[in-house]
Structure 1
């Protein structure tokens, strides 16, 4: 029954129903508003996708190099620098 999806006569019936519901005078305005809404939706979706793609790279932790840790034995054996005096 619906093996082929929408056939041309299905689309014709849908077009007739739309014309009857909205009237021929309102169709251009409706189509324009629908197109504008689709453009806005597309641009917002692209902005969100770009934002999500760049967010993890910006918030990734930077690797920290280990610093030398001195033990108390090492600090006890160090001598202060000699002062000229």
Structure 2
């Protein structure tokens, strides 16, 4: 899916309703902007509870999680970069 939007005079961009719905965000929810190689990714902010659910889902399945995957989940959860 690709959307085009114009940047307003104050540097603001409206996130299209379809994207807000996909991300599950409304009103005053927090989102994360990740900038890499001149590209911006918008993510729904992961709560600490979401992080723990993601982390512990591996315990019950017998699957293993690598340290790299764990670090990525932690960074996304706390927005550390």
Structure 1 length-normalised TM: 0.26
Higher strand share: 2
Higher helix share: 1
Q: Higher relative CO (CA 8 A, sep ≥ 6), structure 1 or 2? A: 2
Structure 2 length-normalised TM: 0.27
